[in-house]
Chain A
Amino acid sequence: MKNKGKTMRLMFKKLVHNRTEILKMPVVGDGLSAKISAKAGFKAINVTGSATNFAYGKPDMGFADFYILFDQARKIIENVSIPVLCDVGTGHGAKENIARTARSYEAINAAGIYLDDGVWPKSCGQMSVTQIASVSEMEKRIHAAVEARKDPDFIIMAHSSARAVCDINETIAKLRSYCIAGADMLYIDNVSSEKELQQIAKEFSKIPLLINSINLAKTFSWNDLLKMGYSMATFKEEAIYARVSGEQEVLKQEESNTATVSLKKKIISAPAFAELVDTEQMNRLEKELIL
């Protein structure tokens, strides 16, 4: 793969514009989760700020700065051969910072980034409250990222949580401004009712839409969402929670065992794990290299 970034971006666009199935992207915060996702059959992944904070044992409260998120994304992208979409929060500062963010993620071969319309830094004590930046502020963020990219196929997506604090009409007006500012795609969050989902899909029928599939008002089939106009879907951190509960269960057994007994919980076998992290492939490579 001579130009991994370009290849991944074209692959991502093809997956997004495929009208036969919705592109599902699991949330990933480290290289192991990325590999598990890729081998589970997912065709693209979503590296989020929260998952990265969790990988460092921190809450999702802004502990991971640009460099930590960027470095983690770089390791993840190196580790898989599927497109990686990256959460860059509010872009990590002023215009010049956002330009650096976009430039840097493009350079590490990300398929694209998504910029939040939230406020950062938030006032302490209001960390869990959704605070939305002004439209002009978000437009500046999008402009800065669009101007900084070299490859027009590098996706600049606008992520909006506005519906948490605005009504649907105001939310749509904001999304429209983000598109005019240059956002290639939209990531819709905090919209749950079928009526509003349809309203947004109708309004932005020409823009690829990513939906957060958790906490929707009812259960939709992937096909329903695709027909409605959503081409991508992502999740919350369920896979990370599952990993933690498995780890807790095993550790609890290990801590309470009074003798060297086998674990009661069914866990992945050592050979299967070795296969997951490409041990055999690396062994072969090592042999080839020393010949």
Chain B
Amino acid sequence: MLKGIIPVTISANLIKNLESDQPLFVSGRLLAIMTLGKDNEGLITRREYLQYFNTLSIETGAALIADGQSGFGNELSAWTTAKELGNAGARYLVLNDQKWPSTSIEIAGTISEKVFINMVKAAVAGGKDYDLQIIPKLEGITKYGYAELISRIELLLKMGIKQIIVARLTRKELVQLKAEKFFSKIGIELDNTDLDLKEVQKFKPTFIVPVESVIANTLSSEQQLYEFYSKEKNYEE
């Protein structure tokens, strides 16, 4: 089960150095930024992600959380995604409720509650031969509102889902969510939100996925390198 702050990374080096039993999230958004130079996870296809993920999994042996985005298509695609990532060593698979292709900043749209439940069912079926837990990620609160968020959570828990990620929350919505009886099964993703890590920690969710801060750190390190290379005339004697 996911607990505490989940490391978000695509670096085998970091995973090896952490030497942690804690599962780590291999973010599609971070992979798109680092390999395509674009802040749009939907540009990374299942095959590209799978190849990268497989190498990380083989080389680190870590418990990895795969980013299944919005399942890369329809129910059959979600089934294939779970099967292939399960085969590639994923222990957890995050599946969001955006319309395909999912995006990292502005959500273009979300799929209906019924279709999303079918997608999750398909992913559970696709991963049944592996030690793979499906973690649905509800990202569309700005599109469908708090009431439907709760309805989606209840349906997912009813079908046997153990943990759910909720993303893009406001402070007010987090306060409301904290009061729900199922809050212990909810993880909060910090991505495209005004909430910061310390603030969310005060609510004591079971786990937190700090995507935004990892991306900010990665870009800040790059900025330092950029400044170094642009200022240092390292080609001169």
Contacts and interface: CB of A to CB of B under 8 A. Distances in A.
A100 B45 CA distance: 11
A68 B74 contact: no
Given A63-B80, A97-B101, A92 B74 contact: no
A120 B73 CA distance: 8
A273 interface: no
B111 to A, nearest CB: 10
A71 B51 CA distance: 13
A127 B74 CA distance: 10
A124 B46 contact: no
Contacts, number: 51
A68 B80 CA distance: 14
Contact of A121 (B38, B48, B73, B118): B73
A211 to B, nearest CB: 30
A67 B49 CA distance: 10
Interface string B30-47: 000000101010110111
A94 interface: yes
B74 A124 contact: yes
A86 to B, nearest CB: 16
A122 to B, nearest CB: 6
Contacts of B45: 65-68, 92
B100 interface: yes
A182 interface: no
A68 B75 CA distance: 19
Contact of B38 (A68, A71, A96): A96
A32 interface: no
Contact of B101 (A61, A63, A94): A94
A93 B47 contact: no
Contacts of B100: 93, 121
A71 B72 CA distance: 18
Contacts of B87: none
Contacts of A122: 74
B43 A97 contact: yes
Interface in A38-65: 61-63, 65
A61 B48 CA distance: 19
A128 interface: no
Describe B's contact surface by its main secondary structure. helix
Nearest to B51: A67
B74 A123 contact: yes
Interface in A105-130: 120-124, 127
A46 to B, nearest CB: 22
Contact of A124 (B42, B47, B76): B76
A67 to B, nearest CB: 4
Interface in B108-144: 108, 118, 122
B47 A68 contact: yes
Given A93-B100, A94-B101, A94-B108, A100 B43 contact: yes
Contacts of B103: 94
Nearest to B122: A124
A100 B100 CA distance: 16
Contact of B42 (A62, A68, A97, A120): A97
Contact of A61 (B36, B40, B76): B76
Given A63-B80, A67-B47, A67-B48, A94 B42 contact: yes
Nearest to A68: B47
B60 interface: no
Contacts of A65: 45-47, 72
A121 B75 CA distance: 9
Contacts of A127: 76
Given A65-B72, A97-B101, A121 B42 contact: no
Contact of A96 (B43, B46, B75, B80): B43
Interface in B68-125: 72-77, 80, 100-101, 103, 108, 118, 122
A62 B73 CA distance: 9
A100 B72 CA distance: 16
Interface of B: 36, 38, 40, 42-43, 45-48, 72-77, 80, 100-101, 103, 108, 118, 122
List the 4 shortest-distance A-B pairs measured between CB atoms, nearest first: A67-B47, A121-B74, A121-B73, A93-B101
Given A97-B42, A97-B43, 8 more contacts: A65-B45, A66-B45, A68-B45, A93-B43, A94-B42, A100-B43, A121-B100, A124-B118
27 contacts: A63-B80, A65-B46, A65-B47, A65-B72, A66-B45, A67-B45, A67-B46, A67-B47, A68-B45, A68-B47, A92-B45, A93-B42, A94-B42, A94-B101, A94-B103, A96-B40, A96-B42, A97-B42, A100-B36, A121-B73, A121-B74, A121-B77, A121-B100, A124-B74, A124-B75, A124-B76, A127-B76
